[in-house]
Structure 1
Amino acid sequence: MYPVDFPDVDHTDLRSTSEQYLSSLESRPSDNEWFELSQSLKVGITANNVRWLQLFEDDQPDCAVMALHPPDDPTQVMALYLHEKWWCVDDLLRTSSKSRTGLVLVQSTMERVIVFLLNQVVERCSQEEVLFSLHPCTESCKLLWRDSQAVGFYTVKHKGSLCDRWSSRCYLLPVLDTVLVRRSWRRRGFGLQMLEDFCSSFSTEEFLGVSFPLSPSMVAVCRRYLQHHKEHRERLYEVEAPGGWTQRRNIWLNIQLGRYSFNADSQLQTRTNLVEHL
């Protein structure tokens, strides 16, 4: 079994267990424990090469997990401490449950940890660069599972939800906010699958949004989708929060007017729109 398959635990319990472990770690000899990534690679586990990772943008100190990093690179994440043991990142993205396939609504703490890893750790292009900002702990998400692995996710800003924490503005329509497909799983139509799922999930809504700015790959996905779903051409808009009419641009119209770039090979690093190269 992998961590996502265990009975769910509250994030405060994860924090408490990790704090107890860290306390014991600080009292041990520095060469007492090792974590093996492979037969040829291992790293010593000491209080000096573990750190806390904040899971959500809400600045809640309890919503954090303990990560192991190499002694010379605190930005790299080698493993997380969950369920009283260290797990490498690759295993954290796996499942032994046959029921996890396709797009599955995120509900458990561990599923949110997986979204965090995909969002902040797995797809980083450099030590300094993070693709997207942290999500709120209440963000509506779906994970995409394929061959017992988490290969991507998308998030939604629901109609009526707050746009930010410092104003009272609310979204005026459902908005597809962040889309990500792991590099090794691109060019397989998963971006299109997530856009189709988003549109079908809000079938009763007259208008739907995709967060501004659209990346070239997201434009390519929208074009392909709208070529086959003419009924949605007047329904799908690129929007800036909160999505009033002055903040909406019809995606199909802008495609026809040539207002988007279709450079599908570009590196996509804007919130919402890392999808896949088509």
Structure 2
Amino acid sequence: MYPVDLPAVELSDLTSACEQRLSALEAAAHSADWFESELTKVAITRNNVSRLKLFEDDQPDCTLLGLHTPDDNTQVMALYLHGSWWCVHDVLRTATESRSGLVLVQSLMERVAVFVLSQLLERPAQDQVLFSPHPRNELAKMLWRGGQAVGFYTVKQRGRLCGRWSAQSYLLPVLDTVMVRRRWRRRGLGLLMLGDFCSSFPDDEMLGVSTPLSPSMAAVCRKFLQHHEEQRERLYEVDAPGGWTQRRNIWLGLQLGRYSLCED
């Protein structure tokens, strides 16, 4: 069993358990337990444990505890969940056979898995992350293959506020983030998620993709629209909140050579 398979836990209980564990570490400054992974062994001390902000719209105390290497606090090895330290890669695993394909993110542990994928793994550089933290209620789907989470996408829903300090709301559903782990790329999974997004909103005449389109996302859109002509007048690159002056037809932009393309 892995964290995502264990009984549901509330955010308040998770936060409380983390704070209790942190207090225990502070009280035991001169003694340490150890965390072992396949590659390394690290002492669990107050100096090696940091608070990690889980959601974009949370107060600072809504955090996880992350165990990092002594010389680099950006390299998180484990998270404190369900009263134990779990390797970040185990947070992305499941023993539930029914958890396969694209699954709507609902539980807190599934939200934690999104956090691991977007904030902790596969950084382009040590001081960079792929995405900003996501709001706790943002629509998201996780892609599961072979018992592990291999990607996800998130959606800004029509009618939701554009930001914590904004009075404007999105005027159409917008595909905000798409992520596939490196070893699972070039297998059509980006196409799968874009197609799932389009089919999830059958009653919307127009759908958005957040600007700017990365070269890899532009390549996914091109391949998708080449095979789905019915979506060419429906899919737009948009700035929030997605008014008419903030929409650019993606297929037209591809034909005019407005996008750099990357097949990764």
TM over 0.5: yes
Aligned to 1:117: 116
Q: Please provide the CA RMSD for this pair.
A: 1.2
> Are 1:26 and 2:26 counterparts?
yes
Aligned to 1:17: 17
Aligned to 2:233: 234
Describe how 1:197-276 pairs up with structure 2 within 5 A. Answer: 197-264=196-263
Counterpart AA for 2:132: S
1:32 CA drift (Å): 3.3
1:29 CA drift (Å): 5.6
Query: Could you tell me whether the CA contact under 8 Å between 2:238 and 2:247 is conserved in 1?
Result: yes
Equivalent position SS for 1:74: strand
Query: Could you tell me whether the CA contact under 8 Å between 1:239 and 1:249 is conserved in 2?
Result: yes
Alpha-carbon spacing, 1:29–1:209, altered in 2? closer, same or farther (3 Å): closer
How far, CA to CA, are the matches of 2:179 and 2:117 in structure 1? Answer: 8
- Between 1:62-71 and 1:238-247, the stretch displaced more is 62-71
Counterpart AA for 2:90: D
1:219 CA drift (Å): 1.0
1:129 CA drift (Å): 0.8
Counterpart AA for 1:150: A
Query: Could you tell me whether the CA contact under 8 Å between 1:77 and 1:121 is conserved in 2?
Result: yes
How far, CA to CA, are the matches of 1:216 and 1:22 in structure 2? Answer: 42
Query: Could you tell me whether the CA contact under 8 Å between 2:218 and 2:262 is conserved in 1?
Result: no
Describe how 1:117-196 pairs up with structure 2 within 5 A. Answer: 117-196=116-195
Counterpart AA for 2:68: H
How far, CA to CA, are the matches of 1:16 and 1:147 in structure 2? Answer: 33
How far, CA to CA, are the matches of 1:191 and 1:82 in structure 2? Answer: 30
Identity %: 67
Counterpart AA for 2:74: T
**Which structure ranks higher in relative contact order (CA pairs < 8 Å, sequence separation ≥ 6)?**
1
Aligned to 2:74: 75
Alpha-carbon spacing, 1:192–1:83, altered in 2? closer, same or farther (3 Å): same
TM-score (norm 1): 0.92
Query: Could you tell me whether the CA contact under 8 Å between 1:140 and 1:156 is conserved in 2?
Result: yes
How far, CA to CA, are the matches of 2:162 and 2:133 in structure 1? Answer: 14
Unaligned runs of 5+ in 1: 265-276
How far, CA to CA, are the matches of 2:48 and 2:166 in structure 1? Answer: 39
Equivalent position SS for 1:86: strand
**Higher strand share goes to which structure?**
2
Aligned length: 264
